[in-house]
Structure 1
Amino acid sequence: MNKEIQKSWIAGLLSACTASLCCIVPFIAAVGGSAGSASIYFNWIEPYRPYMIVLTFILFGLSWYKILTKKPMPSDNCGCENERKNFMGSKKFLGIVTVVCGLLIAFPYYSNLFAGQGMKSSITTQEKLQTARLSINGMSCAGCTDHIDKGLSGIRGIARSTTSFEKAMTTVIYNPDSISADSISKKIKQIGYRNSLIEKN
């Protein structure tokens, strides 16, 4: 029975990791300084996230059902237990793994707490600045906004970028003498998000 329980929670843990992979990997890459290309390989997971979450709940539900309904092994004649206590098959361990999976699934909702205070401007003058607004496709959580803004930070000609998850839009203030709106759009695609220019002024 312990092996069946372990198989269930291991599958549930993998499902929980997969559900938030599109946000976890870009975050790890950003910490490592390579945020520019991390999410492009994992954005395809985002539409399947609700199914992975449901699968995780089902697998952990089965694990808890099995461990709570498991009958204790009878003692032998010498009073020793026939089955050794297995920590990985215990309620305590399953509780720890359940909490870890809950944190993994919820990661997109608190990942912005680890974000920086904002991007530094590479422009010191306010002359000739223009604003470009681009619609963004492929964002799965609020953490994606930080991924985009960090990916655009430090690029020559970009003064500031502000991305909204609710509006699915990025607003970029830039110097047209140093960078074009098309170049900004290409950079966002390199970061891993499909986009289109809404307006430029």
Structure 2
Amino acid sequence: MKSDNKLAGLGLLTAISASLCCITPVLALLAGTSGLASTFSWLDPFRPYLIGLTVLVLAFAWYQKLKPQKQIDCCDTTEKTPFIQTKKFLGIVTIFAGLMLAFPMYASVFFPKTTNQTIVTDKSNIQTAEFTINGMTCSGCEVHVNHEVNKLTGIVKTTVSYENGNAIIEFDQTQTNIDEIEKAIEKTGYSVTDKKEIK
């Protein structure tokens, strides 16, 4: 029975590890220390392996829990099973692990909605710049960068992509500039490796 608990614990640990790169930006934002957001981005390449390990470990834990136990006829064993060794506990661990593995899909709901209402008086003041960003690993990272950039005045439109590793931002150059936008992006903990104006 103790091995079941160890398996459940290992399954939970690998599930949390698999999503740590996406959980950290949310925790950093909630704690007000958004610079810590990319701390666990190095785990992203290992995510598929951690997901596989989580599934295998939890499947084996369920196998151990559901396989028929040998009955010993010599004595009465009506001792109550501790909650931590029950199927209900393993079920809770499995559901929590599933929620952790799916976290990147719904991480954006934890970020406050930021909308910028920029009034543009002269369209010739609109400038578009592309920033190459290192460290983004999921859609939660996109929302985090988007949230931080939209705090600036003069932002007209932001398009952030973790898959492309970039952000394309339209802004009113009379209200903000490329350097201010770069600082806002780097405030999240991700690093800008290149920036260029798009004509």
Shift of 1:112: 2.4
Q: Secondary structure at the match of 1:20?
A: helix
| 8 A Cα contact 2:25 2:140, kept in partner | no
Change beyond 3 A, Cα 1:48–1:126: farther
5+ long unaligned stretches in structure 1: none
**81, 87, 91: which one aligns with 2:83:** 87
Give the 3 Å change call, closer, same or farther, for CA 169–126 of structure 1 in structure 2.
farther
Match of 2:5 in 1: 6
Please state whether the residue corresponding to 2:34 is helix, strand or coil.
Answer: coil
2:66 corresponding residue in structure 1:
68
Give the counterpart of 2:187 among 181, 187, 190.
Answer: 190
One-letter code aligned to 1:67: K
CA 1:65–1:80: 2 relative to 1, 3 Å: closer
Aligned residue type for 1:74:
I
Q: Is the 8 A contact 1:162 1:171 kept in 2?
A: yes
Quick check: 142-151 or 65-74, which moved more? 65-74
Q: Counterparts of 1:40-189 in structure 2 under 5 Å? A: 40-69=38-67, 71=69, 73-74=71-72, 77=75, 79-81=76-78, 83-121=79-117, 123-127=118-122, 128-189=125-186
CA contact (8 A) 1:19 1:46 kept: yes
The answer to whether the aligner puts 1:17 opposite 2:16 as a matched pair is yes
Q: CA deviation at 1:10?
A: 0.7
- Number of residues of Structure 1 aligned to a counterpart in Structure 2: 196
TM-fit CA distance, 1:174: 2.2
Change (3 A) 1:89 1:80: closer
Shift of 1:154: 1.7
Matched residues, percent identical?
34
Q: List structure 1 runs of 4+ shifted beyond 6 angstroms.
A: none
In 1, Cα distance between equivalents of 2:36 and 2:68: 43
Give the superposed CA RMSD.
2.5
Deviation at 1:156, TM superposition (A): 4.1
Distance 1:144 1:114 in 2: 12
Shift of 1:157: 4.3
- Supply the distance in 2 between the matched residues of 1:49 and 1:144 (Cα, whole angstroms): 15
Spell out, residue by residue over 1:87-123, the C-alpha distance to the aligned partner (whole angstroms, 9 max, x if none). 21111211111011001000101222444444334x4
Paired amino acid for 1:168 = G
* Partner residue, 1:30: 29
